[in-house]
Amino acid sequence: MTEFATRALLPAGLRDILPPQAAHEADVVTRLMASFAAQGYERVKPPLIEFEESLLEGSGAAMSKHTFRVMDPVTQRMMGVRADMTPQVARIATTRLANARRPLRLSYAGQVLRVKGSQLRPERQFGQAGIELIGADSAAADAEVVILAAKALVDLGVGEVCVDLTLPSLVPEICSGLDEIDGLKDALDHKDVAAVAAVGGAIGPILCGLVEAAGPAVPALARLSAVPLSGNAAALRERLTAVVELVSSAAPELTLTIDPVEGRGFEYHTGPAFTIFARQSAAELGRGGRYQADGESAAGATLFMDTVLDVLPGPVAVRRIFLPFGTPFAEGQALRAEGWVTVAGLEKVADDRAESRRLACGHLLVAGGVIAA
């Protein structure tokens, strides 16, 4: 390899974001955070690294094998580089902000690092932006989080935003007290009704009913209502139904689907959970749901900046104007106040107009004012 190629080489899954994408990404994050702030979500900023045991506690445990470790030379203890910000925000809520009023609304945005990329997400570094609503356990709280995350994407310009709602604790609830049923999880994961019926025994019909209650929210909820559920399982269904109603009413532009048996990636969730997609892409834009944060019920949503940016229109081109060498600073300042991006000439050139074009400026400043380059 040449020296150039060696120096330019980055580890797989890591990349330099160049102009104009880097500014666009930052702008999108700023707009998302402004949406969250407008509904009372206050930003926190946890550190990039912290002690391994606090980073990987509770819901953070799922991230253990994705987490880079480094030794802290000060304490000789192991630290982890965060692979997910959600457990950090839950830690802040239940320690430093333990005495803050509830419900506590927090937002966050930052970079996370993962040891290896996955097939779905080859990137090993990407941005997260999200919200956590801690200490409120109601359909209104679940719905607020779904609406805020999904509508923030609509407001950014994501074409058709789809939310797939699920109840990851429903199947475990129905199966609780039963012996483990061989092959059931596989059959449910594959939505294989025949297999579920074959292995499900006494609860087979109920589980088949749940598998068949997947799809666009309104007809699927009608099918779900016909499944004979009781106790906690019925309460979960009631909660999901209420959330769908609240979300549809506040944000009719969202496409809602439900999939009551889907639990993959939601191992820690205790109530309604969801995944957000855009119609034009298979990639997840975000996910979230209800979980327990150290004894408090919480609902959160995380958006993934890499996939969000993929489905957004690109950045708008800026209006660049060339200021010939020697232009007084105040003249540039006046143009910038009008919204121009100024590009100053740093030495005298023979042809200012040609120089403007070379520097990708559509305009230049001359004695008479602004002219096209």
Binders in 131-160 for a copy of itself, by CB under 8 A = 136, 138, 140-141, 144, 147
Backbone angles phi, psi at 138, to 5 degrees: -155, 165
Using CB under 8 A, which of 28, 60, 105, 153 touches a copy of itself? 105
Output the smallest distance, CB 169 to a copy of itself, in A.
Answer: 21
Pick between residue 25 and residue 164 the one whose CB is nearest to a copy of itself. Answer: 25
203 binds a copy of itself (CB under 8 A): no
**Which residue, chain included where needed, has tokens 């106790």?**
231
DSSP SS3 for 145: helix
Pick between residue 67 and residue 275 the one whose CB is nearest to a copy of itself. Answer: 67
DSSP characters over 50-114? EEHHHHTSGGGGGGGGG-EEEE-TTT--EEEE-S-SHHHHHHHHHTTTTTS-SSEEEEEEEEEE-
Using CB under 8 A, which of 28, 81, 243, 298 touches a copy of itself? 81
Size of the site for a copy of itself (CB under 8 A): 96
349 binds a copy of itself (CB under 8 A): no
- In angstroms, the CA 345 to CA 361 distance is 11
15 binds a copy of itself (CB under 8 A): yes
* CA 237 to mean position of chain CA atoms: 25
Reading the block at residue 174, the tokens are 């129905």
Output the smallest distance, CB 192 to a copy of itself, in A.
Answer: 35
371 binds a copy of itself (CB under 8 A): no
Q: What are the residues whose beta carbons fall under 8 Å from the beta carbon of 114, sequence distance 6 or more? A: 13, 66, 67, 83, 124, 125
Pick between residue 67 and residue 261 the one whose CB is nearest to a copy of itself. Answer: 67
Question: Which secondary structure element, helix H or strand E, spans residue 179, and what is its range?
Answer: none
- 58 Ramachandran zone, left/alpha/beta (phi>0; psi -120 to 50): left
Output the smallest distance, CB 236 to a copy of itself, in A.
Answer: 19
Output the smallest distance, CB 299 to a copy of itself, in A.
Answer: 10
320 contacts 344 by C-beta, under 8 angstroms: no
Q: Which stretch binds a copy of itself (CB under 8 A): 167-175, 181-189, 205-213, 354-362?
A: 354-362
Pick between residue 330 and residue 350 the one whose CB is nearest to a copy of itself. Answer: 330
Residues within window 238-297 making contact with a copy of itself, judged by CB under 8 A: 249-251
Q: Which stretch binds a copy of itself (CB under 8 A): 62-70, 161-169, 220-228, 362-370?
A: 62-70
350 binds a copy of itself (CB under 8 A): no
Distances (CA, A) of 284 to 69, 112, 311, 334: 27, 17, 11, 44
Using CB under 8 A, which of 194, 316, 346, 372 touches a copy of itself? 346
9 binds a copy of itself (CB under 8 A): yes
Output the smallest distance, CB 172 to a copy of itself, in A.
Answer: 26
**Helix segments in 190-304, DSSP class H:** 193-199, 204-212, 217-225, 231-250
Q: Which stretch binds a copy of itself (CB under 8 A): 11-19, 186-194, 259-267, 365-373?
A: 11-19
127 contacts 29 by C-beta, under 8 angstroms: yes
